[in-house]
Amino acid sequence: MKRLLLVLVAAGVALFSPALYADDYPSRPITFVNPFGPGSGSDTVCRIIAEPLSAMLHQPVVVEDRPGADGSLSALYVHHAAPDGYTLLMATNSPLSADPFLHKNVKYDALKDFVPITRVGSFTLMLVINPKLPFHSVKELVAYAKDHPNTLSIASGNTAGIVAGDTLEHWAGIKMLNVPYKSTPPALDDILGGRVSMMFADFTTAMPFIKVGKLRALALSRIKRSALYPELPTMDEAGVTGFNLDAWAGLVAPTGTPPEVIAKLNKTLRPIIGDPNVQAKFKVIGFEGFSSTPEELESYIKAQLIEWKKMVKDADIQPD
């Protein structure tokens, strides 16, 4: 009887093994958890890839926006989710690169608590201002800020905006009023309304307003000019030597998610991200889309943690 019982228990364990479970994956809707609000760059990217992923996997893919605490609330939510492949985080540099150094009480580990799936791409940031301000270059802005400390205000909708703004202030020796937001769209609303002077915003949310003259772009955050906006100088060219800040995006799952599920998601997502139709949609919103292996994303996150730690330290930002 004991032997029979052991055989039955072993059969039961095998029945619910990750490998067999993964064969039926997915059998219900998948959720992309976005760390910022509706209309944000990461929200838009989620929706672009959710539709073709749903078609490929024959299950709905839902985008759930969970903004707050610079993206750490969404990361914590996914960390505590069941590791079954049905709750995925659209990770960005905010929750998985910068938050561990900007905040003292981050309750997850960027490397231990998540399993990488694939990179999705990167956002380029640009310094944008209300066009009623008299500045047409970073040099003019800095000169005015030096003569009028704490007169100009700078918004931030994510950690990239926080670090970029503080880096500019620290490098230029200027003081501005810092105005934090949970996401980029509401910050841009206040810049458009003249209530805030400027911010570092991603192409995705800022470009439509630039095209119609409601925002003025002064410089890019990357070290090289963008093919999407080749006439716009970089912060490095504008005099902030070595300024190079790029915001990234990638998909991760809670640790414990079966390897077979991660492999299936990676195999399905990579052709979607590289598809010409998806690439065309990315281009329209100013997003550079590309994929990776899980191992490549893991190595990238490790490198980004080192990079963002240095940027936070160099900008003399004290964790809160």
Tell me the C-alpha distance between 285 and 301, whole Å. Answer: 24
Q: Which domains does the chain have, with CATH numbers?
A: 16-123+246-314 (3.40.190.150), 125-220 (3.40.190.10)
Tokens describing residue 258? 């079966």
Tell me the C-alpha distance between 289 and 173, whole Å. Answer: 35
Bridge pairing between strands 153-156 and 114-123: unpaired
Show the 3-state SS of the chain. CHHHHHHHHHHHHHHCCHHHHHHCCCCCCEEEEECCCCCCHHHHHHHHHHHHHHHHHCCCEEEEECCCHHHHHHHHHHHCCCCCCCEEEEEEHHHHHHHHHHCCCCCCCCCCCEEEEEEEEEECEEEEECCCCCCCCHHHHHHHHHHCCCCCEEEECCHHHHHHHHHHHHHHCCCCEEEECCCHHHHHHHHHCCCCCEEEEEHHHHHHHHHCCCCEEEEECCCCCCCCCCCCCECCCCCCCCCCCCEEEEEEEECCCCHHHHHHHHHHHHHHHHCHHHHHHHHHCCEEECCCCHHHHHHHHHHHHHHHHHHHHHCCCCCC
User: pLDDT at position 182, please?
Assistant: 84
Tokens 């959720």 sit on residue:
31
User: pLDDT at position 282, please?
Assistant: 92
Instruction: Please check whether residue 55 is in contact with residue 269, taking contact to mean a CB–CB distance below 8 angstroms.
Output: no
With 0-12 / 13-18 / 19 or more C-beta atoms within 10 angstroms meaning exposed / middle / buried, residue 296 is middle
Instruction: Please check whether residue 240 is in contact with residue 171, taking contact to mean a CB–CB distance below 8 angstroms.
Output: yes
Tell me the C-alpha distance between 85 and 26, whole Å. Answer: 8
User: pLDDT at position 2, please?
Assistant: 56
End-to-end CA distance of the chain: 61
Task: Return the amino acid letter for 194.
Answer: G
Instruction: Please check whether residue 126 is in contact with residue 96, taking contact to mean a CB–CB distance below 8 angstroms.
Output: no
Tell me the C-alpha distance between 292 and 274, whole Å. Answer: 11
- Give me the sheet containing 216-220, strands edge to edge: 177-180, 153-156, 198-202, 125-129, 216-220
Counted residue by residue, the chain has a size of: 320
Predicted TM-score of the model (pTM): 0.81
Q: Which residues sit opposite 156 in a β-bridge?
A: 180
User: pLDDT at position 296, please?
Assistant: 98
Single out the residue of 90, 83, 86 nearest to residue 30, CA to CA: 86
Mean pLDDT per 10-residue interval, the chain, length 320 residues: 51 48 86 93 95 98 94 96 98 93 93 98 91 94 94 91 89 92 91 96 88 95 85 91 86 98 98 97 88 98 92 86
